[in-house]
């Protein structure tokens, strides 16, 4: 288990006793074995985002709260908000970075080439390991819901603002485990500056939910990353057995 990095600033402070927000909008984790206290309800945040997390939160409520969101600059060039898709009671949630061109056009996460690879990874690993799970059985979403221009990495303030919706999604679904795809998702969930190579293959925690970090499928599409591909399959095997055995 990787030791959580202490939060560095309190630009946005949610009153969560065992956890704090960071500039990247992530939440540090209570020490292993210490159950985090439930989040008290606090009033509306700046820029109109409801607190983390309202009672009886649901994915539908979160989507309604997002509405035609203009809370950060990523609204300017998006076509569609990409909220997330899949099984709303999933035991496993995959979190990516943000929508690309195909996702922006369709309003759905991971539908381009990287998405096809993710489907192969999920379906292929499950079938090889004898686990009766398909992509439709998991839930898939991103740290930011609107496509960053030229597919650039989301900026810390964008991750901070939109990350609150991600956190609400995760709290509403309460999966048995989360798989963070790539360093942006890892940063948002784990308050860490470590890269994927260092983080992958081990269990971490977001609040009390185990998190496995692995490579983003778009990184695996590059031909020179065959070794990373093998490692990603290993990571996924670990996640699948943990969640579904
Ligand atoms: S990225 Fe998130 S916070 Fe920014 S405009 Fe889109 S939905 Fe709103």
Provide the strand spans (E) within 46-171: 85-86, 92-96, 139-142
What residue owns the CA closest to ligand 1's atom 4? 72
Averaged pLDDT for residues 228-236: 96
Q: Of ligand 1's atoms, which has the minimum distance to the CA of residue 70?
A: 5
Q: How far is the CA of 4 from the centre of ligand 1 (A)?
A: 27
Tally of structural domains, the chain = 1
Domain-embedded: residue 61: yes
Domain-embedded: residue 229: yes
Domain-embedded: residue 52: yes
In order, the DSSP letters of 176-215 are SEEEEESHHHHHHHH-----HHHHTTSEEEETTEEEEEE-
Whether 57 contacts 165, CB under 8 Å: no
Q: What is the pLDDT of residue 64?
A: 96
Ranked by mean pLDDT, the top range of 33-42, 44-53, 153-162 is 153-162
Q: What is the pLDDT of residue 9?
A: 33
Q: Is the CB of 74 under 6 A from ligand 1?
A: yes
Domain-embedded: residue 194: yes
Domain-embedded: residue 10: no
Q: Is the CB of 71 under 6 A from ligand 1?
A: yes
CATH number at residue 148: 3.40.470.10
Domain-embedded: residue 24: no
Two structure tokens written together for 64: 């309604």
CA angle 133, 241, 233 (to 5 degrees): 80
From 67, 145, 157, 159, give the residue whose CB has the most ligand 1 atoms within 8 Å, as the site to mutate.
Answer: 145
Q: Which of 79, 145, 76 is nearest to 109 (CA)?
A: 145
Q: What is the pLDDT of residue 225?
A: 85
User: In this predicted model, what pLDDT tens digit does every residue of 160-172 receive, in sequence order?
Assistant: 999 999 999 999 9
Two structure tokens written together for 67: 């509405």
Alpha carbon 81 to chain centroid, angstroms? 16
Domain-embedded: residue 21: no
Q: Is the CB of 81 under 6 A from ligand 1?
A: yes
Averaged pLDDT for residues 17-45: 39
Alpha carbon 226 to chain centroid, angstroms? 24
Q: Is the CB of 166 under 6 A from ligand 1?
A: no
Q: Of ligand 1's atoms, which has the minimum distance to the CA of residue 72?
A: 4
Q: What b/e sequence results for 23-50 when a residue is b if at least 16 CB atoms lie within 10 Å of its CB, and e otherwise?
A: bbbbbbbbeeeeebeebeeeeeeeeebb
User: In this predicted model, what pLDDT tens digit does every residue of 81-114 receive, in sequence order?
Assistant: 999 999 999 999 999 999 999 999 999 999 999 9
- Global pTM reads 0.82
What residue owns the CA closest to ligand 1's atom 6? 146
Q: Of ligand 1's atoms, which has the minimum distance to the CA of residue 158?
A: 4
Q: What is the pLDDT of residue 32?
A: 43
Q: How far is the CA of 85 from the centre of ligand 1 (A)?
A: 17
Domain-embedded: residue 40: no
Two structure tokens written together for 48: 């109109």
Domain that holds residue 102: 47-244
What residue owns the CA closest to ligand 1's atom 2? 162
């Amino acid at each position: 288990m990787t030791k959580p990095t202490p939060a560095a600033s309190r630009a946005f402070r949610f009153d969560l006793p065992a956890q704090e927000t960071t500039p990247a909008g992530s939440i540090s984790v209570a020490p292993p074995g210490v159950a985090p206290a439930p989040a008290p309800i606090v009033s509306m945040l700046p820029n109109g985002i409801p607190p983390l997390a309202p009672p009886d939160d649901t994915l539908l409520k979160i989507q309604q709260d997002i509405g035609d969101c203009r809370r950060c600059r990523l609204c300017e060039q998006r076509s569609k908000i990409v909220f997330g898709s899949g099984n709303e009671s999933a035991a496993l949630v995959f979190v990516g970075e943000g929508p690309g061109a195909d996702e922006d056009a369709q309003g759905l996460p991971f539908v381009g080439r990287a998405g096809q690879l993710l489907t192969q990874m999920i379906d292929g690993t499950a079938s090889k390991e004898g686990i009766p799970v398909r992509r439709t059985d998991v839930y898939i979403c991103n740290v930011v819901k609107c496509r960053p221009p030229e597919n650039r990495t989301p900026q810390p303030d964008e991750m901070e603002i939109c990350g609150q919706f991600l956190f609400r999604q995760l709290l509403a679904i309460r999966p048995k485990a989360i798989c963070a795809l790539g360093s942006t998702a890892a940063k948002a969930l784990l308050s860490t500056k470590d890269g994927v190579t260092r983080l992958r293959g081990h269990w971490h925690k977001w609040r009390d939910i185990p998190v496995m970090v692995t490579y983003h499928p778009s990184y695996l599409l590059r031909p020179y990353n065959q070794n990373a591909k093998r490692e990603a399959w290993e990571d996924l095997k670990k996640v699948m057995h943990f969640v579904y055995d």
